[in-house]
Amino acid sequence: MSGRFAPSPTSNLHLGNLRTALVAALMAQASDVGFLVRIEDLDVTRVAAAGDIATRQVEDLAALGLRWDGPVVRQSARLELYRAAIDSLPTYECFCTRREIAEAASAPHADGYRPYPGTCRNLSASERAARRDVRPPALRVDAQGACVTVHDQWAGAVSGLVDDFVVRRNDGVYAYNLAVVVDDLAQGVTQVVRGEDLLTSSPRQAWLARRLGGREPLYGHVGLVVNAAGHRLAKRDGAVTLEDLAARGISASDVLSLLGASLGLNHPGEPVTLLELNRRFDPAVKPPTWVWSRDA
């Protein structure tokens, strides 16, 4: 049994990522389970420095005092697991473009995801063959309109319809929703702490975990770190990574204090250690949204 933090190496971790990682580690400690770090690097071919970024991400977690069990796992080394999982699922080929899906699908979820309307589900063999000559297909699960309820640590019961989501893209890359579930099952992950913008993806992932013969983890979706305009924090907001903040004279220890204060675990400016935060952390209290200003 374990919790985990699983960043994608597309950019250095910012305060929002670091805060989620801290809560995930505190939750694991409070639950007396292990804590894992996994690098979700399936779709980083466009990021030339992905390897260096992943190294810095791990170093930043360690700089905050976080420790984890075992080696850091990378998804790019686990392709056979994803291939085997797909072989056990009900799937069909999909030839729709993003534009076609956007035009046919309902409004996107909070995480930007557009539910698939099932356009290619009932294509005949000849129709599929004709479309395959035009463009390679993605692979979607056939979820049959399932409705799944999951339990969130702070939101309680969360229900959602499961659309026919992609498990392998038309470029051959395994999709996030597949890989994250396969990895969590394989690694014995029993709790997942992440941003509340991903709450709507939980029923899809729970459906998949059950279809693969496992159980979904206990979810905990934390309030986001946002900028002064109320938008989710991003690197463009400036001075949001450990490297940025160090250039302003704000050390990793100072950042730990900032993050702890944002969770209500210490007073602003109070020096704290991870051990002290562990002692003060209450799993029953949802970490709230935190507004960050570059002038903070």
pLDDT, averaged in runs of 10, over the chain (296 residues):
96 95 98 97 74 94 97 95 97 93 68 81 95 96 96 96 96 96 98 95 97 97 93 84 94 97 97 97 96 75
State the DSSP code for 233: P
Q: Are 30 and 281 a contacting pair, CB within 8 Å? A: yes
Domain ranges for the chain, please list them: 2-77+223-291, 78-222
78-222: CATH number = 3.40.50.620
d(CA 51, CA 54) in angstroms, rounded, equals 5
Domains 2-77+223-291 and 78-222 share a fold: yes
First to last CA, the chain: 38
Q: List, in order, residues 6 or more apart from 289 with CB less than 8 Å away.
A: 223, 224, 225, 226
Q: What is the pLDDT of residue 45?
A: 63
Instruction: Answer whether 0.85 is exceeded by the pTM.
Output: yes
For residue range 111-156, list pLDDT tens digits in order. Answer: 567 789 899 999 999 999 999 999 999 999 999 999 999 999 999 9
Query: Tokens in use for 89?
Result: 């699922």
d(CA 2, CA 16) in angstroms, rounded, equals 22
Domain 2-77+223-291 -> CATH class: alpha beta
Pairing of β 218-222 and β 191-195: parallel
d(CA 203, CA 182) in angstroms, rounded, equals 15
d(CA 23, CA 287) in angstroms, rounded, equals 8
Q: What is the CA radius of gyration of the chain?
A: 20
State the DSSP code for 173: P
Task: Return the number of other C-beta atoms located less than 10 Å from residue 177's C-beta.
Answer: 18
d(CA 38, CA 30) in angstroms, rounded, equals 20
Task: Return the number of other C-beta atoms located less than 10 Å from residue 280's C-beta.
Answer: 14
Task: Return the number of other C-beta atoms located less than 10 Å from residue 184's C-beta.
Answer: 24
Q: What is the pLDDT of residue 145?
A: 92
Full DSSP string of 33-85: -EEEEEE--TT-TT-TTHHHHHHHHHHHHHHTT---SSPPEEGGG-HHHHHHH
